[in-house]
């Protein structure tokens, strides 16, 4: 599964708007169905400040977003700490 550069860029921008700095996107497997009955590939990255995740799924089921994750839903608490630490060093 190749990553979709447009979706990855959009995910990075949405996460950055919340103060997150996403690392590299890596291929992983997610479970599908309820209860989980199968797996499929997706790309996941973690915030370098707080560890919140963001994911890109280029083949989601109908009605499900292609991008999701806690890094897109809430502000980064680690960003505040990183900024404070940089100010101290200056």
> How far apart, in whole angstroms, are the C-alpha atoms of residue 27 and residue 3?
8
Q: Where are the domains of the chain?
A: 5-89
Task: Show the tokens assigned to 38.
Answer: 């199968």
23 CB-near residues (< 8 Å, 6+ apart)? 45, 46, 47, 48
Sign of the torsion angle spanned by Cα atoms 15, 52, 2, 29? negative
Q: In terms of pLDDT, which residue wins out, 85 or 1?
A: 85
pLDDT tens, residue by residue, 1-18: 456 899 999 999 999 999
Res 86 pLDDT > 90: no
pLDDT score recorded for residue 34: 78
Residue 29: strand pairing partners: 41
pLDDT of residue 1: 45
Helix (H, G, I), strand (E, B) or coil at 13: helix
Q: What is the pLDDT of residue 66?
A: 93
Task: State residue 17's pLDDT score.
Answer: 94
In this predicted model, what pLDDT tens digit does every residue of 20-56 receive, in sequence order?
Answer: 999 999 999 988 877 878 888 899 999 999 999 999 9
> CA–CA separation, 12 vs 34, rounded Å?
29
């Amino acid at each position: 599964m190749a990553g979709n550069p447009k979706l990855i860029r959009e995910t990075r921008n949405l996460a950055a708007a919340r103060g997150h700095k996403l690392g590299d996107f890596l291929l992983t497997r997610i479970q599908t169905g309820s209860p989980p009955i199968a797996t499929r590939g997706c790309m996941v990255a973690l915030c370098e400040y707080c560890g919140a995740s963001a994911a890109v799924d280029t083949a989601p089921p109908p009605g499900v977003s292609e991008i999701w994750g806690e890094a897109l839903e809430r502000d980064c608490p680690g960003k505040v700490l990183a900024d404070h630490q940089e100010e101290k060093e200056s």
